[in-house]
């Protein structure tokens, strides 16, 4: 049983752990909340997008996602880093498309365009009935969207979620991707269990900024890759999945540049 002085005065190990956490927190703040980012956050707060930022949900080389509070609900705030690391993993055609859309070359302008692009694509998906976070607004490199989760924490990535019925998950993924392809007329292009969340029993599509129109020259190959990756994952869970049937079920045969008339 701990002695009274041990309760009042933390042990050396506990003090070191507290300092480590404080150091990590300070480093995280320095990485994401530089002066321009703080100005962008302030602008979005003044627009009523959220009241305060609570804590990080996920961080990576391209950016971070933070939980924010808006009245009695939560929202997700995504902050992209303004550097070339944001685009290092992207295929050349995606970056070329973005440069043409944004008419800029510097990384700051591209990141702002990338943020705007994700906001737009999320809106198209939600309008099409796809389970995707609803976008609320954006400014510069900061995007505000629906928070998926509860007061206890954010929804897990599909890769980390407990899946009780893999066959039902397969059916729901077919439905979500078919709506994305058929109604929103988009192909995700980087879909996997790592950028799909599992919340309230459904898969939710995230990280959609690299999505391309379904008539894009690369769309068919990208969809096939997405489907193949997900089929392998579902098979490991125990679902009965045929990649070719999966591809057809989501409307894959209609994806790709129009066939020239003869």
Are 10 and 18 contacting, i.e. CB atoms less than 8 angstroms apart?
Answer: yes
H or E element: which one contains 128? none
Out of 18, 165, 207, 226, pick the active-site residue.
207
| Residue 30 appears among annotated catalytic residues | no
* Spatial separation of the C-alpha atoms in residues 257 and 259, rounded to whole Å: 6
Task: Check 96, 97, 190, 215 and give the catalytic one.
Answer: 190
**Dmax of the chain from CA atoms?**
88
Residue 11, token pair as written in the block? 């042990």
Q: What gap in Å lies between CA 94 and CA 30, rounded to an integer? A: 29
96 has catalytic annotation = no
Any idea which residue has 């944001």 for tokens?
86
Based on the number of CB atoms within 10 Å of its own CB, is 75 exposed (0-12), middle (13-18) or buried (19 or more)?
buried
CA 114 from centre of chain: 13
The helices-and-strands tally (H runs, E runs) of the chain is 8, 11
The set of catalytic residues is 190, 207
């Amino acid at each position: 049983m701990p002695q009274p002085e041990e309760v009042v005065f933390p042990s050396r190990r506990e003090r070191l752990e507290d300092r480590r956490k404080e150091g990590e927190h300070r480093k995280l703040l320095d990485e994401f909340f530089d002066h321009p980012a703080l100005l962008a956050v302030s602008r979005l707060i003044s627009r009523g997008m959220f009241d305060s930022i609570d804590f990080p949900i996920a961080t990576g080389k391209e950016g971070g996602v933070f939980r924010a509070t808006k009245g009695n609900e939560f929202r997700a705030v995504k902050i992209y880093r303004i550097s070339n690391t944001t685009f290092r993993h992207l295929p050349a055609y995606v970056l070329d498309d973005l440069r043409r859309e944004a008419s800029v070359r510097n990384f700051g302008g591209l990141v702002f365009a990338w943020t705007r692009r994700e906001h737009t694509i999320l809106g198209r998906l939600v309008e099409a009935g796809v389970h995707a976070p609803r976008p609320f607004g954006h400014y510069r490199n900061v995007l505000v969207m629906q928070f998926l989760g509860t007061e206890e924490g954010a929804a897990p990535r599909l890769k980390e979620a407990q899946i009780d019925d893999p066959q039902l998950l397969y059916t729901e993924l077919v439905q979500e991707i078919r709506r994305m392809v058929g109604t929103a007329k988009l192909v995700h292009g980087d879909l996997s269990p790592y950028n799909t969340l599992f919340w309230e029993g459904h898969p939710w599509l995230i990280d959609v900024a690299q999505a391309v129109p379904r008539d894009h020259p690369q769309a068919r190959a990208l969809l096939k890759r997405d489907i193949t990756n997900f089929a392998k994952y579902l098979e490991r869970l125990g679902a009965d999945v045929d990649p070719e049937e999966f591809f057809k079920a989501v409307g894959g045969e209609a994806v790709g540049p129009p066939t020239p008339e003869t």
